[in-house]
């Protein structure tokens, strides 16, 4: 390090400074002005985000950078993201591909690495979605931005991918990681056909909705959620399952309609779940499977299935819900 230091044996000063600035973890960088006043205790984050441009890290300077960032994002296009003075291309298995050829397509920026187990787990799912969309003729492309530690690992991992990539250790990888504030991998940023950012949570959306999430816009996601509501509204409202000891109630509000993890397949779900209020057990509606059976009712008219019809009805109160009879354990 080229700077000064508190002597190693001066433990008292270190403790006093740590307590004074309420340091809860390291590394932490506290910035003081020329008068010794605290400018910020978040110097590490500011250096990572702004580098030298953040100096002297005052509120006035941060406001200037904020306005500049807003203007930059307002003018964002795919080319402003990916084209530099010396490079206007990305890689494919067969050579260079001009960034200009990707304009007017939905583009996913895939931050990933071979050493990362969650990345290796997600990549096959992403490949399945990619292959289906390309097979349908959708204007969709993915660019791999590697965090691999050596080029051999990069080449091996990229060999399993059918899409494009930035060259190993390309400066654009770090710049885009900072620009989109990528705190962990895998991460999938979706750029719309107009060059604007659609979402930085492409990974989560694919995990929840699969290929149906494309093109990842708010309108499309609302449409998918509406379709899910129609789909699940025909299911029985309460079931018992061999997979759990308590009755399970169909709801889309168990966690405020947010993400949960299915206790059968360990995959994410959102909103609709067969939920146990007693212990928080959750099953995807699809994971009930052949173990599903209607909870017995105190009323003779409830739980009746029309055995002559492939799609029967389960009656609860004054409403009868259609149910596929073959899913009922008689």
Q: Is residue 116 part of a domain?
A: yes
Same domain, 205 and 296: no
Residues 25, 119: one domain? no
Residue 321 lies in a domain: yes
Q: How far is CA 175 from CA 27, 73, 83, in A?
A: 22, 14, 12
Q: Please report whether residue 68 resides in a domain.
A: yes
Residue-wise over 186-202: b if at least 16 C-beta within 10 A, else e?
A: bbbbbbbeebeebbbeb
User: Is 3 domain-assigned?
Assistant: no
Question: Which of 43, 73, 103 is the endpoint of a domain?
Answer: 73
Say which range, 166-175, 181-190, 258-267, has the weakest mean pLDDT: 258-267
What is the H or E stretch that residue 50 is in?
helix 43-50
| Domain co-membership, 82 together with 217 | yes
Instruction: Report pLDDT for 257.
Output: 67
Indicate if 147 and 40 belong to the same structural domain.
Answer: no
Q: Which domain holds residue 276?
A: 233-327
Tell me how far apart the alpha carbons of residues 326 and 307 are, in angstroms, rounded to a whole number. Answer: 9
Q: Is the pLDDT of residue 330 over 70?
A: no
Q: Does residue 275 share a domain with residue 205? A: no
Confidence (pTM): 0.69
End of a domain among 196, 223, 250?
Answer: 223
Question: Which residue, 25, 57, 73, sits at the end of a domain?
Answer: 73
Q: Can you say how many angstroms the Cα of residue 2 is from the centroid of all Cα atoms in its chain? A: 39
* Residue 320 pLDDT greater than 80, yes or no: no
Average pLDDT over residues 131-149: 96
**pLDDT tier, 289 (very low <50, low <70, confident <90, very high otherwise):** low
Answer whether residue 268 is part of any domain: yes
Choose among 252, 269, 251: nearest CA to 260. Answer: 269
Q: Residue 297 domain-assigned?
A: yes
Q: What is the reported pLDDT for 194? A: 94
Higher pLDDT among residues 173 and 323, named by residue: 173
Nearest-angstrom CA–CA distance, 313 and 303:
8
Tell me whether residue 6 is in a domain: no
> Which stretch of 30-34, 207-211, 248-252, 258-262 has the lowest confidence by average pLDDT?
258-262
Does residue 118 sit in the same domain as residue 194?
yes
* Structural domains in the chain (count): 3
Q: Over the stretch 179-224, which tens digit does the pLDDT of each residue have? A: 998 988 999 999 999 999 999 999 989 988 889 999 999 999 999 9
Residue 45 lies in a domain: yes
**pLDDT score of 315:** 34
Q: Domain check: are 67 and 154 in the same one?
A: no
Whether residues 98 and 192 share a domain: the answer is yes
Whether 325 shows a pLDDT value over 70: the answer reads no
Which two three-digit tokens encode residue 50?
Answer: 């702004």
Rg (CA), the chain: 27
Both 259 and 164 in a single domain? no
């Amino acid at each position: 390090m080229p700077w000064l230091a508190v002597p190693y044996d001066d433990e008292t000063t270190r403790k006093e400074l740590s307590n004074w600035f309420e340091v809860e973890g390291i590394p932490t960088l506290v910035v003081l002005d020329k008068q010794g006043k605290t400018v910020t205790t978040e110097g590490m984050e500011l250096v990572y985000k702004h580098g030298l441009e953040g100096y002297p890290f005052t509120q006035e300077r941060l406001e200037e950078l904020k306005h500049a960032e807003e203007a930059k994002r307002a003018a964002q296009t795919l080319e402003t993201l990916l084209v530099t003075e010396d490079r206007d291309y990305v890689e494919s298995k067969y050579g260079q591909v001009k960034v200009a050829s990707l304009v007017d397509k939905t583009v996913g920026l895939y931050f990933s690495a071979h050493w990362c187990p969650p990345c290796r787990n997600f990549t096959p799912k992403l490949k399945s979605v990619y292959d289906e969309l390309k097979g349908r003729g959708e204007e969709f492309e993915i660019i791999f931005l590697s965090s691999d530690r050596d080029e051999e690992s990069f080449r091996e991992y990229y060999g399993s991918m059918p899409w494009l990539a930035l060259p190993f250790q390309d400066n654009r990888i770090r710049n885009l990681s900072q620009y989109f504030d990528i705190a962990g991998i895998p991460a999938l940023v979706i750029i719309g056909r107009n060059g604007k950012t659609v979402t930085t949570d492409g990974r989560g959306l694919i995990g929840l909705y699969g290929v149906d999430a494309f093109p990842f816009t708010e309108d499309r996601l609302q449409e998918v959620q509406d379709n899910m509501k129609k789909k699940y509204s025909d299911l029985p409202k309460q079931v018992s399952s061999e997979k759990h000891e308590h009755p399970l109630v169909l709801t889309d509000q168990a966690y405020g309609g947010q993400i949960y993890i299915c206790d059968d397949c360990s995959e994410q779900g959102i909103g609709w779940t067969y939920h146990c209020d007693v212990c928080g057990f959750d099953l995807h509606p699809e994971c009930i499977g052949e173990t599903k059976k209607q909870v017995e009712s105190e009323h003779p008219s409830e739980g009746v299935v029309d055995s002559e019809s492939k799609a029967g009805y389960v009656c609860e109160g004054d409403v009868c819900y259609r149910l596929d009879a073959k899913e009922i354990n008689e």
